[in-house]
Chains A and B, each alone.
Chain A
């Protein structure tokens, strides 16, 4: 489903060229729960942003669902982000002046979903993460774990095939992290492809497939020891 071939990402800083990603080759199958691990600064986020069509590689081939992303224009990329991908970020990225439910509306607004349908879909998504009663709260009025659950609801509301989560538990305590990961596991069981970036072993252990990135290269591909999956 996701296929990266000979991906390079280079940043030009003053005179120097720095290779942030070096010849990345990667395949993610439909329904995978995929973990990208590695030390800080190794290029995980850069890779994630490329997979999420937020950024373009300097060279290489990127196929998503048989679409050659390298040939897409900005508008087509926006459409892919809108409908095929759901993002969950480390620091939640909820819009602070909008209520929880209004935040969940955003992807549907850009997808052109009519207001009534948006309302019911947003409620269903909120219910899935168990936060229906917080619908009209502002992000500042709920806890970090709850914010991340709202972000998950927002990520799944357009029913994307892939969810990309960049250090989704990085700002949360262990117990809350487990709740969040269980939500991902649940979504994965329903058929959604999940890609999680993390540097924590505990978190990576939720995945059934894992790569380790170091200095912009994949150093090792392994299937981690999996925790018992939710039935």
Chain B
């Protein structure tokens, strides 16, 4: 007897007992869908965290920040890096580029209303290139803007709400440090996990003039080769500490390693939680076994008739085994569908991305299959072992 024949028979039996089949599957459905949801949310959360850390750049980044403000020559918000620091770092063979950024919190004056404190960031050409600004309105800085010192700015949507009373500020003038600045672009909100959220972006040259500041308080290292990240970091740290005659005020933050750490944490968490959810899969398997045992008893006469008509032990065993595997897999697939559905709803409601990967098909098909076999073998064996005369006499 062919597999297809057995499979058809299993489907026939499953569909002719719809309610019982659905109840049997329920445990598997709940188990699979909860594992799917947990994995999807876990992966989504991991992705979200990682994207916040490395922003839209590649993760070959190193940022230097003074470790201990009392030991450091300057305060954290002042420019700690000057141009000679940058040149020093550029001389490290593994380093491709060293880019300084400045930011500060200042009062913004607009429409003569109360002053609001805002975070202003100076941006250069590299920054523009690596942070693909998404514009909702207006335009980006040009290469010329960056160096010409024009009094222009880009603001993000969040600051439009907070600083400009939600009115479209495009073309409006606001004041920083007593100087008028015109808004030329509005971007979507950027996601930054560290440092302050930036409200307003100024061209590098403009920032220098407006705030009379030549130093940088953030420094990003771009390394030629991902493998030399660590070496370059160590060299840079040593050079800077030597140049400024400090112990370890200059520290390396290796985003790649942080990202790896987060990945470890989230995947461990996901594994732990989904193992707990996996227990419900096992409980579901016990449910399958339970109903299959009832089904075997209920169908004792059927088994007797089939044996009288020529079914072998093996064929009866296969029939019931395929039935329990089929019921488990159908339950698993329903669980996957429901899990994807609920994950999607969660992501829509919570604004948390969910990542559904192919690996859930393993959860949805392979696991239930194993469970179907493991928990189906006892009932199937019971059916196969029934003697024809006793089962024919069964009322």
A residues with a Cβ closer than 8 A to B are 49, 52, 54-55, 74-75, 78-79, 81-83, 87, 89, 93, 95, 97, 106-107, 109-112, 154, 158
Contacts and interface: CB of A to CB of B under 8 A. Distances in A.
B314 A75 contact: yes
Contacts of B12: 97
B310 A55 contact: no
A87 B302 CA distance: 14
A93 B307 CA distance: 12
A87 B308 CA distance: 7
Contacts of A158: 310
B392 interface: yes
Contacts of B235: none
B1 interface: yes
- 7 tightest A-B contacts by CB? A82-B310, A110-B310, A78-B312, A54-B388, A107-B309, A93-B305, A97-B16
Interface string B291-303: 0000000000110
B230 interface: no
Given A49-B389, A54-B388, A93-B392, A110 B313 contact: no
Given A74-B313, A87-B308, A93-B301, A110 B392 contact: no
Contact of B307 (A78, A97, A112, A154): A78
Given A49-B389, A54-B388, A75-B314, A110 B309 contact: yes
A78 B311 contact: yes
A107 B312 CA distance: 11
A184 B29 CA distance: 52
B315 interface: yes
A49 B313 CA distance: 18
Interface of B: 1-2, 5, 12, 16, 301-302, 304-315, 387-389, 392
Interface secondary structure of B, over-half rule: helix
Contacts of B388: 54-55
Contacts of B2: 112
A54 B392 contact: yes
Given A89-B392, A106-B305, A109-B1, 7 more contacts: A55-B389, A75-B312, A81-B310, A87-B308, A93-B392, A95-B305, A110-B312
Nearest to A110: B310
A112 B311 CA distance: 11
A106 B314 contact: no
17 contacts: A52-B308, A75-B312, A75-B314, A78-B307, A78-B311, A81-B308, A87-B309, A93-B301, A93-B304, A93-B308, A95-B302, A97-B12, A97-B16, A106-B309, A110-B312, A112-B1, A158-B310
A79 B310 CA distance: 6
Contacts of B308: 52, 54, 81, 87, 93
Contact of B311 (A55, A87, A97, A110): A110
Contacts of B314: 75
Contact of B315 (A83, A93, A110): A110
Nearest to A115: B5
B9 to A, nearest CB: 8
Contacts of B307: 54, 78, 81
Contacts of B309: 81-82, 87, 106-107, 110, 154
A49 B306 CA distance: 15
Nearest to A93: B305
A106 B308 CA distance: 11
A162 to B, nearest CB: 13
A54 B2 CA distance: 24
A54 to B, nearest CB: 4
B388 to A, nearest CB: 4
Nearest to B395: A91
A136 to B, nearest CB: 15
A106 B12 CA distance: 14
A106 B392 contact: no
B310 A111 contact: yes
A111 B311 CA distance: 9
A110 B301 contact: no
Nearest to A79: B310
A87 B309 CA distance: 7
Nearest to A54: B388
Contacts of A75: 312-314
B1 A110 contact: yes
Nearest to A98: B12
Residue among A55, A78, A93, A97 with max Cβ neighbours from chain B (10 Å): A78
A106 B1 contact: no
A220 to B, nearest CB: 26
A93 B302 CA distance: 8
Contacts of B315: 78, 110
B296 to A, nearest CB: 15
A154 B308 CA distance: 12
Contacts of B304: 93
Nearest to A76: B312
B85 to A, nearest CB: 82
A54 B311 contact: no
Residue with the greatest number of chain A CB neighbours at <10 A, chosen from B12, B308, B388, B392: B308
Nearest to A102: B12
A74 B385 CA distance: 11
Contacts of B392: 54, 89, 93
